Amino acid sequence: MKTFFNFLAITSSVFVYSQQTQQVNQGLGYEFFPTKSVTSNGKTLTYDDIMGTPYANKDFKMAKLADNYEAAPVRYNSYKDEIEFKKGENIQIVPKQKEFSKIIIKEPLQTIVNLETNDNLQGYFFELVPGKIALYKKEKTVFKDEAPAINSYASAKQAEFIKQDPVYYISINNTFIKKPKNQKEIIEALPNLKDQINTYVKSNKIKFNKEEDLRKLVNFLNQL
């Protein structure tokens, strides 16, 4: 009888593990495979044919994709705004679903979140400062078509991926300030903190086009 109950316990454990593994595999993949090509002047070019890279970082990094899901190596395609992950030997795309809206890369520690900013850049952002007031960075890569030589003395230009300057967003009270230019925009969202904000910006010589200064400012606002 003891042997029978031991067998039931082992069988149940195997069944539960199998169920969880199946959930992980089905929940992440849905068999969405990335297309690693671009059409340029009527030709199909693979990423290897194009100068530069569409990735914020070419290397895959281990990341937590969601609660109750196994970690996986990931990388961010900033041209297509897609998170790729490795599943065995295959590369697939993380579905843009609520449960996968916050991806935490383990080393170096980074958090990528999927935000609805209701503009042309909505999608994945790097979370620089979390909190009731948050700072996010959008990394974007664009594709430039190849250009034939304009004359016999000029050279043709290869198709190219070009990384754009990052765009910063400050989130206050569920609204986004895109490309904050000065403290006036912050004060409009936080009028009760006008004096503190003005004093801090002036005394710390905050420049709104510098990431480190924006980090300092948002960290300060979260302490008020």
Res 157: pLDDT: 87
Angle, helices 211-223 vs 194-203, to 10°: value is 140
Confidence band of 28 (pLDDT split at 50, 70, 90) = low
**What are the residues facing 170 on neighbouring strands?**
135, 177
Could you report the per-residue pLDDT of 79-104, keeping only the tens digit for each?
999 999 998 889 999 999 999 999 99
Instruction: Return the closest-CA partner of residue 127 out of 116, 113, 115.
Output: 113
Query: What is the pTM for the complete model shown?
Result: 0.84
- pLDDT above 70: percentage of residues in the chain: 86
102 contacts 115 by C-beta, under 8 angstroms: no
Q: Distance (Å, rounded) from C-alpha 89 to C-alpha 92?
A: 10
Q: How would residue 151 be classed by pLDDT, with cut points 50, 70 and 90?
A: confident
pLDDT tens-digit series, residues 54-84 = 999 999 999 999 998 899 999 999 999 999 9
Whose tokens are 């974007």? That residue is 140
Least confident range from 16-20, 24-28, 126-130: namely 16-20
Cα 129 from Cα 117, distance rounded (Å)? 17
HSE value, Cβ hemisphere, 13 Å, CA-based, for 210 = 9
- When pLDDT is cut at 50, 70 and 90, the band that residue 3 belongs to is very low
Burial class (CB in 10 A: 0-12, 13-18, 19+), 72: buried
Query: How far apart, in whole angstroms, are the C-alpha atoms of residue 107 and residue 143?
Result: 29
pLDDT, tens only, 155-168 = 778 999 999 999 99
Nearest Cα to Cα of residue 219 among 167, 165, 170, 168:
170
pLDDT at 23 over 50: no
Q: Looking at residue 176, what DSSP letter applies?
A: E
Query: The dihedral of CA 119, 124, 128, 131: what is its sign?
Result: positive
E strands, the chain, are 37-40, 43-46, 61-64, 72-77, 82-87, 90-93, 102-105, 110-115, 123-129, 133-138, 141-144, 160-163, 167-172, 175-178
Q: How does strand 110-115 pair with strand 90-93?
A: unpaired
Mean pLDDT of 20-34: 53
Percent of the chain with pLDDT over 90: 72
- The two structure tokens encoding residue 163: 């990384």
The average confidence (pLDDT) of the chain is: 87
